[in-house]
Structure 1
């Protein structure tokens, strides 16, 4: 049994009104099906407006699709009872793109990371501090950072705080929605390396949503490409993506820039592999 199964999911926003047209819904997802196995990372690639983030929200249980099913650990997340939903919710976590808007600016790092632990675990004050200190260490920060507020961290450091919060309950699956795209190249590389280390340490599974094929390649075991709400390419071997004849895939590949600014001409080589 797969950890996550998305079965023929279709979703639309609307209806919308236009002076020239009758009311109609705006399709966002069309017959999307995919699976994620335990301990693996699936990279979900696509340009802006392809429907990637909407699919992420559907998987997280935030937006119920018009049609189709989302099966997580053998349970349909849209038909399960509230008790089962709460039990499974701890195994499904998310890290968003904007590290600052993802946290309460009035909360310390200790409170931010401790929030899910307070909701699901019964820890004494001393156990809570030890656990949070360990989580900070896991993401490359110090126990002394506990009392700092979001404004006192860089974007990369705060994203590490968000990751620490997400792994606090040792989830089975993490949805990473453009989680490194707002960071500079150095921080991107560091966060991706951290995510790979955590995946190995905890046996985590990821849905890595991005428009950046370089980032997706570095962390994913398999890749899928979305365009206009449809999956148009599926590569169980991530190297196969480079032989795709789909125009949008070629566009994503050609967006890779040379490492040195002097040589930054659009190229389709795979020098980062």
Structure 2
């Protein structure tokens, strides 16, 4: 069953200069369409400036597109009333790239993770504390970590806290916007493994936005490549990606570098 359907979405920002604002808009997205089925992960690839993160914000309901529709669980995100929109927002969560700017540095991990629970659930303080402790353990931390502040965690640990916050309400889908890009290889591997485990445990769907082909190939079922604000290639099965003749795909594959400087040539992902 289709969980998310993006139909012919176009979005633009007004061009501006130091002295005047241009009347012409610059298209960032041009007729983008894609879908995500329940329980699946779509990897959204592309170079910087391709429009990936803008599309993510449109899907999250943060930026209304100039044209097109975003259907989540069959509802148009930008046409529903506030009550339905609130429910949809509960079922659609996000984890951003910068784990530090995504949290309030003055809040403890327990407060950060508990914030969505406080907004949507009617839990007693004891119930919320217990729920947060379980979430911390679910993402590989300890319930005792709830009393720590963001600066007391490594980047990988803090991203686990952001993930715990995202799954707190048991959403249907999470948008992961470059969620592992700022981490070292060890933490990337561990977070990708965690995301796969959570997906299996909760039946989650992911939109995995990244420029990292290896990370996308590791976690995704299907892959889409964006170029100049459009979906240049869509591979329903990720294995098709390696064989695609599309120039955008070949360019991405050609840009891959081996982890060891001695072998700076393209390598297979499989």
Cα deviation code 1:181-211 (max 9, x no counterpart): 0000000000000000000000000000000
2:2 alignment partner, SS class: coil
Return closer, same or farther for 1:125/1:18 CA change in 2, 3 Å cut-off. Answer: closer
Cα deviation code 1:39-87 (max 9, x no counterpart): 0000000000000000000000000000000000011000100011111
Q: Distance in 2 between matches of 1:65 and 1:16?
A: 19
- TM-score (normalizing by structure 2): 0.96
- TM-score (normalizing by structure 1): 0.95
Query: In the alignment, does 2:233 pair up with 1:244?
Result: no
2:71 alignment partner, SS class: strand
Counting only pairs closer than 5 Å after superposition, residues 221-236 of structure 1 correspond to structure 2 as 221-236=221-236
The total of aligned residue pairs comes to 270
Contact conserved, 1:52 with 1:226, CA < 8 A, in 2?
Answer: yes
Contact conserved, 2:113 with 2:161, CA < 8 A, in 1?
Answer: yes
Query: In the alignment, does 2:262 pair up with 1:266?
Result: no
By how many angstroms is 1:264 displaced? 3.0
Contact conserved, 2:15 with 2:22, CA < 8 A, in 1?
Answer: no
Q: Distance in 1 between matches of 2:144 and 2:22?
A: 59
**4+ aligned runs moved over 4 Å, structure 1:** none
Unaligned runs of 5+ in 2: none
Q: Distance in 1 between matches of 2:31 and 2:261?
A: 44
Contact conserved, 1:173 with 1:206, CA < 8 A, in 2?
Answer: yes
Q: Distance in 1 between matches of 2:18 and 2:177?
A: 32
Return closer, same or farther for 1:132/1:16 CA change in 2, 3 Å cut-off. Answer: same
RMSD: 1.6
By how many angstroms is 1:2 displaced? 1.1
2:207 alignment partner, SS class: strand
Aligned counterpart, 2:147 = 147
Aligned counterpart, 1:44 = 44
Contact conserved, 1:212 with 1:252, CA < 8 A, in 2?
Answer: no
Return closer, same or farther for 1:143/1:251 CA change in 2, 3 Å cut-off. Answer: same
Counting only pairs closer than 5 Å after superposition, residues 26-175 of structure 1 correspond to structure 2 as 26-175=26-175
Contact conserved, 2:11 with 2:29, CA < 8 A, in 1?
Answer: yes
By how many angstroms is 1:18 displaced? 9.0
2:233 alignment partner, SS class: strand
Unaligned runs of 5+ in 1: none
